[in-house]
Structure 1
């Protein structure tokens, strides 16, 4: 059974065609402001040490599940301070991102363009080496 599956897989992979176009990784500027945490994440940052302290051997998923249950069981009044803090952080982030965008293109983005130019020059250099190889072959004849 396993051999049949393996041969079927190999035959399918021979005819498999990858999607068209290149997927380029989006450049992320390290100097850009970071997004603020949500009210839930602020809640988690406060209660995570407490939950880990109860049972130090718990897995990350178990801790996250417990935090989610606690958040869902918390009344609206209990969530309100976290939501206010999250709104305040979001307002600050919006001001920071507006100022960041007003500056224009950041230096790091220009570096990304420079790297693309370097790769083009490298390709041109490699093309030039191919031409030199052809010239050498002609001289040998």
Structure 2
């Protein structure tokens, strides 16, 4: 009888989260949002890309290889957090919470005492854990 030695579990990849400028990271931000919203969730690209990205502050999470794996944005004019997206293979690792925290800190630095966001129904529990209250539909 032969027994196989189990493979060592992979070490979790190191993820860096930082604010980026739209002009510098547009390609990577669009790739993530297209993968998550347009391809997975069938969101119309015209709805996803609303023309507001240049004025927004963007959070980007990148893996060890420098590949973008999650993003979100803060519109400082409207005081709104949105476009939160994590690619499938990185979900469930706390990246959404890290992005949200960074965007909330950024909002405070921008002088915003309050932020709003729109969330899909399935994401409401995620935001409620961070202290958000669901209002309306």
Same fold per TM (> 0.5)? no
Larger radius of gyration: 1
TM-score by length of 1: 0.19
TM-score by length of 2: 0.19
More strand by share: 2
Higher RCO (C-alpha 8 Å, min separation 6): 1
More helix by share: 1
